[in-house]
Amino acid sequence: MTARGNRDRGHLARPRDAGGTLAVRVRPFVVAIDGPAASGKGTLARCLAERFSFAHLDSGKLYRATALLVLAAGADPADPDAAVAGARRISPAALGDPRLTSEAVARASSILSALPAVRAELLTMQRDFAAHPPVLAGDVTPRGAVIDGRDIGTVVCPDAAVKLFVTASPAMRAERRVKELRERGAPAIYGDVLRDMKERDARDSLRRVAPLAAAPDAVTIDTTGLDAGQVFEQASDIIARALAAHRL
């Protein structure tokens, strides 16, 4: 979740009107973005949220924060009780922990994300965010939400107004991840990153519950060979047309 969507009252906050009473409003416009690791969906989601003044939730952070809490407790990410306990302890502060980006946390998050009880626990938080996007900086009530992950268009928000499936070749995604890690000063060997990524893709795609998949009504954007600006333009056009169709 971006810092803007995560102020003071946390990600479950509901907008209030000037008089302090709960505001009555129509169902928020939801943009669901799914795709594999390092496909560019995170950057795209952040930029789209900014462009359309929507709240943003990076749902991967919920799984990563759960994983970090489990690892910090010395527990096994494959242990359902430990993983559910971790999911219940997520706080806005945990979602901002810099250790969430480590490869060890990524690996553990993909292991515990296959557990149905963990997914059920995190589903409620994500649906609540979609139904009540938190107020943005400057107390602006967002007119919608952008949520990115693996199962947003298929399970979390099957009624989303726009569904995008963002993908790229494994080689391109591994290259991007290596660059990102090196920019952060972390050591990264291309072959290792590619192997870990393929392993995580397989676990995410083959799990029984809510596997990584494009919803039948999603628009697929293959970002191989495209830069972030080109992807942003394509996605912005799709959203602008959907907003016009919804007369928003």
Min CB(59)–ligand C5P separation in Å? 4
What's the token pair of residue 93? 């502060």
For residue 104, the one-letter residue type is A
**Dihedral pair phi/psi, residue 119, rounded to 5°:** -60, -40
Q: Please identify, using beta-carbon distances, which residue of 4 and 177 lies nearer to ligand C5P.
A: 177
Residue type, 91: S
Angle at 171 between CA 180 and CA 34, to 5 degrees: 75
Among residues 4, 132, 176, 200, the one that binds ligand C5P under rule CB under 6 A:
200
106 sits near ligand C5P (criterion: CB under 6 A):
yes
φ/ψ of residue 29, rounded to 5: -80, 115
Binding mask 29-48 for ligand C5P (x = CB under 6 A): --------x-----------
Residue 110 contacts residue 203 (beta carbons within 8 Å):
yes
Q: Which of 150, 163, 173, 176 binds ligand C5P (CB under 6 A)?
A: 150
Q: Where does the chain have alpha helices with state H?
A: 41-52, 59-72, 80-88, 92-95, 103-112, 116-131, 170-183, 190-206, 228-245
Report the alpha-carbon distance of residue 168 to residue 222 in Å, rounded: 5
Interacting residue with ligand C5P among 11, 47, 151, 160 (CB under 6 A): 151
Fill in the per-residue mask, 158 to 197: x = in contact with ligand C5P (CB under 6 A), - = not in contact.
Answer: ----------------------------------------
Select the span of 79-87, 107-115, 163-171, 220-228 touching ligand C5P (CB under 6 A). Answer: 107-115
- Give, as ranges, the residues between 52 and 91 that touch ligand C5P (CB under 6 A): 59-60, 63-64
Nearest to 65 by CA among 103, 33, 93, 36: 93
Task: Count residues binding ligand C5P (CB under 6 A).
Answer: 15
Pick the closer one to ligand C5P by CB: 66 or 141.
66
Applying CB under 6 A, which residues contact ligand C5P? 37, 59-60, 63-64, 106, 109-110, 113, 149-152, 200, 204
